[in-house]
Amino acid sequence: MGNSTGTIQSIEIRYLEAKLDKPFGWSQSWTTSRSIIIMKLTTSENYIGWGETYGSYNTCLEMKHLAEFVIGEDSHNINKINNKIFEKTFQSHGFAGASSFMSALDIALYDIRGKFMNEPISTLLGGSLKIDIPVYATGLYYLEGFPIKPHIDEALGYIEDGFTGMKMKVGGLSISDDAKRVNQTREAIGPNIRLMIDANEAYDKRTALEMSELVHENNLTWFEEPCPSRDFHSNRYVTDNSKIPISGGESLHTSLEFSRVISENVFDIIQPDICSVGGVSEMRKVGNMANSFGVKINPHYWGTGISFAAVLHCMSVQPILNNSQINSPYENQSVLEFDQTPHPIREELTDRFILKDSSVEVPKNPGLGIEINEEVLDKYLKGEIIHVK
């Protein structure tokens, strides 16, 4: 054995279960068996470590993905491993589990119910208030070497396409370099196009505020995810102190997580994603709650035509916040993210949604109102089909 414990070489995960002769009860159910998940970890220096946790065999399947993250890591540096797991799972979209499953299931169930009733989902939700939903372009990611010319060309392309708003990435460079790019973007697109920035959780609260100070004169419509999404204290601090409205929440799950974010004014604008929040049902709860508390809701979108259709239906029944004679997108009407980045599956799985007047029409056909090209499912399949029956 060498000077260190070596790298993590293998992880065995076993689900063990033993039936009880005599069940015992508690508030939620009766315990009929005792079970445990046992982990055996082996390193390149032949150290063996044992661990255990709770859960089912399915938990083991979920743990398999996490085990893949840590294979090859230095087993001596526990901090680094924990930090990696934390980043991969708790922050951003990793903290998934049940609400990811619930989201997909709920969307599918609404699709079925709509088909059965021969009505679009918006009708099942009480009837649409709008036939089309204002959208903005999401793109303007960094390119290798951080060139500004293609970035500006992309921004101008969105205006040509008819978008009245767009969102660019920040947080990947120093705040001064990023601020320069924001200035250049605003200069190129002129004063009449909405511009938003998205840091994807890059900053601590002070740096976020510094960034906000550097760019606020560009008339930015919002500053998205300045701090890690579940760091409610830091996000609230930035919201309270920034001259730019602060948004976030794309990776939060269920109306329960949003209840605190909404009631405590963690963000000026919340951005639930129908694939994470819990599908149509939870999106509606969050939408109603946001209206009751006077918080704007501009949903996040990063999937295919399935979730885009689902969120269009939800937004068609979302009441306008603070009605007036003139109801304008961004001001009192919700706007929806319209991902413009490359996504071959999205491109092929359903028909494209047509942009008209910086809006997209809510599908009118029963259910989600879209057709799925099932050949695309085979084309992009990786690994085995998990078939539960």
Measured from the CB of residue 323, what is the shortest distance to Mg ion in angstroms? 28
Measured from the CB of residue 271, what is the shortest distance to Mg ion in angstroms? 7
Segment near Mg ion (CB under 5 A), from 40-48, 192-200, 287-295, 347-355? 192-200
Q: Residues 37-76 vs Mg ion: string with x where CB under 5 A? A: ----------------------------------------
Q: What angle do CA 101, 106, 111 make, to 5 degrees?
A: 130
State which H helix or E strand residue 53 sits in.
strand 48-53
User: Which C-beta is closer to Mg ion: that of 111 or that of 198?
Assistant: 198
SS3 11: strand
How many angstroms separate the CA atoms of 276 and 252, rounded? 7
User: Which C-beta is closer to Mg ion: that of 122 or that of 247?
Assistant: 247
- Half-sphere exposure (Cβ direction) of 379: Cα atoms closer than 13 Å: 10
How many angstroms separate the CA atoms of 170 and 243, rounded? 17
Segment near Mg ion (CB under 5 A), from 110-118, 193-201, 349-357, 378-386? 193-201
Inter-residue contact 35 to 70 (CB < 8 Å): no
How many angstroms separate the CA atoms of 242 and 267, rounded? 11
How many angstroms separate the CA atoms of 55 and 38, rounded? 10
Measured from the CB of residue 223, what is the shortest distance to Mg ion in angstroms? 11
User: Which C-beta is closer to Mg ion: that of 13 or that of 246?
Assistant: 246
Decide if residue 337 touches Mg ion (CB under 5 A): no
Q: Which two tokens stand for residue 58?
A: 């399915």
SS3 71: coil
Segment near Mg ion (CB under 5 A), from 4-12, 216-224, 343-351, 372-380? 216-224
Phi and psi angles of residue 342, each rounded to the nearest 5 degrees, phi first: -60, 140
User: Which C-beta is closer to Mg ion: that of 86 or that of 141?
Assistant: 141
User: Which C-beta is closer to Mg ion: that of 140 or that of 312?
Assistant: 140
User: Which C-beta is closer to Mg ion: that of 106 or that of 198?
Assistant: 198
Measured from the CB of residue 372, what is the shortest distance to Mg ion in angstroms? 26
How many angstroms separate the CA atoms of 332 and 278, rounded? 25
Measured from the CB of residue 170, what is the shortest distance to Mg ion in angstroms? 11
The full length of the chain comes to 389
112-150 as b/e: b if 16+ CB within 10 A: eebbeeebbbbbbbeebebebbbbbbbbbebeeeeeeee
Instruction: Name residues contacting Mg ion, limited to 220-249 (CB under 5 A).
Output: 224
Measured from the CB of residue 169, what is the shortest distance to Mg ion in angstroms? 9
User: Which C-beta is closer to Mg ion: that of 178 or that of 198?
Assistant: 198
- With CB under 5 A, what is the number of residues at the site for Mg ion? 2
Q: Residues 84-123 vs Mg ion: string with x where CB under 5 A? A: ----------------------------------------
User: Which C-beta is closer to Mg ion: that of 224 or that of 257?
Assistant: 224
Beta-bridge mates of residue 367: 120
Measured from the CB of residue 234, what is the shortest distance to Mg ion in angstroms? 16
Q: Give which of 272, 322, 278, 279 is closest to 297, Cα–Cα.
A: 272
User: Which C-beta is closer to Mg ion: that of 224 or that of 231?
Assistant: 224
Decide if residue 198 touches Mg ion (CB under 5 A): yes
Measured from the CB of residue 148, what is the shortest distance to Mg ion in angstroms? 21
Helix crossing, 98-117 with 279-293: angle to 10°?
100
Gyration radius of the chain's alpha carbons: 23
Q: Which two tokens stand for residue 110?
A: 């609404």
Residue nearest to Mg ion (CB): 198
Measured from the CB of residue 128, what is the shortest distance to Mg ion in angstroms? 26
Decide if residue 273 touches Mg ion (CB under 5 A): no
Footprint of Mg ion (CB under 5 A): 198, 224
